[in-house]
Amino acid sequence: MGDKEERGRIISLEHQLSAVIENSSAGEFDGDEYGGGTCTMYMHGPSTERLLALTWPVLSAFHPPAGSYAIKRYGSSAEDEHRIPLDSNTDC
């Protein structure tokens, strides 16, 4: 679950993401899950593209650890999902 500083950064990121999503009515920040040395955050909304576009600046400014990524999923099927690296300069 990381050290105190790492957990503080994650909590701050969650608050920022939640505020951006709530203020835009783009969906909801649905919590997190820790395990295996990782933290998974869940965000849901009617438009995957809009949700990621709104949260991308926050995620980019966080300076996530190498190997971090976002998953854009359309619907409930894992067959239609795309992994986007967060530790690069790629656009969402």
| pLDDT, tens digit, 9 for 90 and up, residues 17-66 | 999 999 999 999 999 998 888 899 999 999 999 999 999 999 989 988 88
Please determine, for residue 74, whether its predicted confidence score (pLDDT) is greater than 70. yes
The C-alpha angle 37, 19, 40, rounded to 5 degrees, equals: 15
Rounded mean pLDDT of 78-82? Answer: 79
How high is the pLDDT of residue 42?
93
Rounded mean pLDDT of 2-27? Answer: 93
Write down the pTM of the prediction.
0.84
Distance set, CA 76 to CA 4, 12, 13, 63 (Å):
34, 28, 25, 29
Please determine, for residue 16, whether its predicted confidence score (pLDDT) is greater than 90. yes
